[in-house]
Structure 1
C-alpha cells in the first residue's frame, strides 16, 4: 500500500509540473502584458477567484452541514482557482480565449502561493478539530516549486525559443492529460467506496450549487464585452486540482474520504461547466450564422 501511495504521489507531481510547463510554453509575454493592462478586468477576476471563491466554498459547506472530510475537501478545492480545464470551457463557449487562458494561468500561478494560507485560515476558522490543519509553509514551498517555477521556465523558453516551446509544449500537454487521468483513476480506486457513498449526498449537491454560483458571480463581477465576461465566468468554477491533491498527500496521508470527496467535487464542476459552455457556444454560433 505504501508503494502504491508513493507511486500516486510521483505521478501527481509529474501531472502538476507538466501542466504548468504547458501553460508556460503557450503563454507569451505579449499576451500576458495585453491582459494585465486591463486593470479593471484583472482586479475583478482576482478578487472573485481569491476572495469570493473560497468564501463561497466555505459558506456552502456550512449551509449543507458537511461531514469533516467533505468539508475539508470543499475548502481545499474552492481555494484552488486556475484549472487548465477552464480554458477548454472558454474554447467550447467560443468566448474570449486569450483573456480566459491568460487569466486562468495567472490565477494558477498566484494560487500556488495563496492556496495553503487561504485553506488553512478557513479550516482554522471553521473549528474542525485540533488535528485538522495544513502545514502552510511546506505546502507553499512544494506547490510553488511544482507550479510557479515550471510556469516561469516554460514562459521564458517560449520567449527565447518559440520553436522549442511549441515542440516541448505538445509533449508536456500529452503527459499532463494522461497523468491527470491516472491521478483521477488513482483517487477513485483508492477511495471508490467513499465516492460511491457520496452518490445522492449533499456533497454533490454542494458541488453543483457552488459551481453554478461561481459562474454567476464570475459573470457579474467581470468587465468588458459578453465574450470576455463569459470567459471570466467559465474559468471561475474550475479548480486547479494539483494543490488540493498535494495537500491531501502532505497533510492528510492521502485520506480516502477526503480524496473521494475531492474527486467527486471536481467531476461535478465539469458536469456543470461543460454543458454551460456548450450551450453558450451553440448560441454564439447560431448568432454568428
Structure 2
C-alpha cells in the first residue's frame, strides 16, 4: 500500500511539473485522433466540475481573510481581471477579424475568472501567493454574475442564450462544486489533507482530456484558421500578463503583488470558457479556450522562470511596503 501511494505521489508530482507539456500533447492527440477524442467533448462540464471540486478542497476560510486585511490589493486585482481580459479579448478578436463562434469563444475566455494553475505559477515566480489564491477564489465566486454580463455586453447580439442560462451553467459547474469542496474540507479536514497531494494528478488529467476532446471536435477549424487563432490567443494572453503587471504597478503594489496580479490576469480559467461554449454555443466557440489552456501554461511557466532568476528582485516582496 505504501509503495502504491508513493508511486501515485510521484505521478502527481510529474503531472504538476510537466503540466504544460501534457496539455500540449493532449491538443496534439485531438488533432491526430479526432474520432477517438471527439465523443468526450459532451462531458467537458463534468470534468470541469470535478476540477472545481478539487479546487474547493484546497480552500479554507483563511484564504479569504486577505480581503479584509488588504482590501485595496484585492480590489485592484479583481478590477484588472474583469476589465482587462474581456475588453482585450473583444479588441483582439476585432483586430484579427474573428467573428461568429470564434469571437464568442475569445470573449468567453476573457470574461472567465483566473485560471486554477495560476497559484502554482505565482509561487514559482516568487510572487505573492496569498494574494494569488485570494484573487483566484474571489474571482471564481464572482464569475456566475460577471462572466455572463461581459459576454452579453460584448457579443450579446450574436448569442442564442440569455443571462440566466449562463449564470445557471457557471453556478452548476463552478460555484456549487467549489462550495461542496470547501464544506467537505471543513467537515473532514483530516481525510482531505491526506488526499491533497494527489489532486494535481486529477486536475491535470481533466484539463488534458478537455483540451484533447475540444481540439478533436474542431480539427477541421483548427486546420483552416489555426495560425490566425493561435496568434490571437497568444496576443490575448500576452496583453493580460503585461497590462496586469502595469495596472498593479500604477496601483502602487509591490513587486511580488505585481507578479501575482499579472499572472492572475493573464492566466484564465479557459476550461470554464470551453465548458460554456460546449454547452451553449457552436463547437468552434470552445476552440479559443482549448488553445488558451495550452498556451497560457507555457507562457506562465516561461514568465515564472524569468522572474525566479531575477535575483535582484525581492523574492516575496517587502512586507513593510504592503
Which residue of structure 2 aligns with residue 243 of structure 1? Answer: 272
Partner of 1:153: 180
Structure 1: how far apart are the matches of 2:191 and 2:312? 35
Q: Superposed, which structure 2 residues align to 1:193-272 within 5 Å? A: 193-201=220-228, 203-222=229-248, 223-253=252-282, 255=283, 257-272=284-299
Q: For 1:135, which of 138, 146, 162 is the aligned residue?
A: 162
Alpha-carbon separation, structure 1, partners of 2:68 and 2:172: 24
Aligned equivalents of 2:194 and 2:41: distance in 1?
27
Cα separation, 1, equivalents of 2:274 and 2:183: 27
Structure 1 residue 193: Cα displacement:
2.5
Q: Identify unmatched segments of 5+ residues in structure 2.
A: 1-33, 316-322
**Cα offset, 1:242, TM superposition:** 3.3
**Residue number among 77, 81, 88 corresponding to 2:120 in the alignment:** 88
Cα displacement string for residues 83-112 of structure 1 (whole angstroms, at most 9, x for unaligned residues): 112112212212111221221122122113
Q: Hey, what's the Cα distance between the residues in 1 that align with 2:307 and 2:134?
A: 20
SS at match of 1:200: helix
Q: CA deviation at 1:286?
A: 8.6
Give per-residue Cα distances to partners, 1:181-233, cap 9 Å, x unaligned. 111111111112322333432x2222222222211221122243211210111
Aligned residues: 279
Q: 1:270 to 1:176 in 2, by over 3 A?
A: closer
Tell me, what secondary structure is at the counterpart of 2:65? Answer: helix
Corresponding residue number in structure 1 for 2:109: 77
Cα separation, partners in 2 of 1:13 and 1:71, compared to 1, 3 Å:
closer
**Cα distance between partner residues in 1 of 2:211 and 2:277:** 14
Q: Give the corresponding residue for 2:305.
A: 278
The structure 1 residue matched to 2:76, chosen from 44, 51, 75, is: 44
Q: Deviations over 1:153-185 (max 9, x none)?
A: 222333343212223434544322212111111
Q: Which of 14, 18, 37 is matched with 2:46 structurally? A: 14
1:26 aligned residue (58, 80, 89): 58
* 1:118-197 paired onto structure 2 within 5 Å: 118-124=150-156, 127=157, 129=158, 132-197=159-224
Query: TM-score w.r.t. structure 2 length?
Result: 0.77
Cα pair 1:82 1:106 within 8 Å, conserved: no
Q: Is the Cα–Cα contact under 8 Å of residues 113 and 140 in structure 2 kept in the other structure? A: yes
When the two chains are superposed, the root-mean-square deviation of aligned CA atoms in Å is 2.6
Distance 1:168 1:232 in 2: 29
Matched, 1:63 2:95: yes
Check conservation: 2:242, 2:262, Cα contact below 8 A. yes
TM-score norm. by structure 1 comes to: 0.85
Question: What's the secondary structure of 2:126's corresponding residue?
Answer: coil
Gaps of 5+ in 1: none
SS, match of residue 198 in structure 1: helix
- Please report how far the alpha carbon of residue 35 of structure 1 lies from its aligned counterpart in structure 2 after TM superposition: 4.2
Task: Look up the SS of the partner of 2:117 in the other structure.
Answer: helix
Q: Distance in 2 between matches of 1:103 and 1:36?
A: 13
Q: Please tell me whether the aligned partners of residues 17 and 150 of structure 1 are also in contact (alpha carbons under 8 angstroms).
A: yes
